[in-house]
Amino acid sequence: MASRNNAVLVVALLLVSVAAQADYYRYITDEGQTVVVGQLNSEAIRLGYEQLSDKGQVIKVVERSKSNEEKARLRAEQLRAEQQQAWDKSLLLKYSTVEDIEASAVRALREIDVRLGILRSNRSVLKTQLNSEQAKAADIERRSQQVPEDLQLRIKNLAIELDTTKETIARHQREKLELQSSYKRDAVRFAELKSITELRNTYHQN
């Protein structure tokens, strides 16, 4: 009987010891009130909390849980940072000076200009051919005759080809503008990266 009582006493003492060592959780409600609880609840997890020892010392600080919108924004920011880092690395590997970037831009833009020159020449030829075929059709109609189907088809195909060529020219012109802007951004960013590198080197030397 005495042994059983001793066992009960040991268990009771252990429970008291555990209770004495139990941690508490402190958080601030939406209304600005500070609350201390002995067990974590959903509100504390949502708002963020401090884990306290039995003596009131802060053991750990846990930030509030983030909303789906905040998580999405953080992911987007992380993605932008990764893309920026990849871009910076690419610039430093690809070029040695701003002049290298400018020379690369000149070459790339010259290639587009060559393509534009060919396309504009094709456009001029197509216009001439289309005008000639349309003039033939108009002359036939003035004589109150039926325009042959093969002539109608040639006019249709030439018009389609001319429109396609115009669209291609417009696309290349947009590409040229985008390329100019891209190389300009590259040059500005490269100069920034070089300045940062020089500042770091100067700092470490001092």
Query: Over the stretch 107-163, which tens digit does the pLDDT of each residue have?
Result: 999 999 999 999 999 999 999 999 999 999 999 999 999 999 999 999 999 999 999
* Number of domains present in the structure of the chain: 2
- Angstrom distance (rounded) from CA 37 to CA 28: 11
**Domain enclosing residue 25, as ranges:** 2-62
**One domain, residues 29 and 130:** no
Q: What percent of the chain has pLDDT over 70?
A: 86
| Strands of the chain, DSSP E | 24-28, 34-37, 49-52, 58-62
- Angstrom distance (rounded) from CA 94 to CA 173: 26
**One domain, residues 124 and 49:** no
Domain final residue, candidates 62, 87, 105: 62
**One domain, residues 53 and 106:** no
- Angstrom distance (rounded) from CA 16 to CA 32: 33
- Angstrom distance (rounded) from CA 65 to CA 48: 7
**One domain, residues 131 and 192:** yes
| pTM beyond 0.75 | no
What separation in angstroms does the CA of 120 have from each of 15, 79, 109, 178? Answer: 90, 41, 16, 20
Domain final residue, candidates 45, 62, 79: 62
For the ranges 15-24, 40-49, 120-129, 195-204, the maximum mean pLDDT occurs at 120-129
pLDDT band at 6 (very low <50, low <70, confident <90, very high): very low
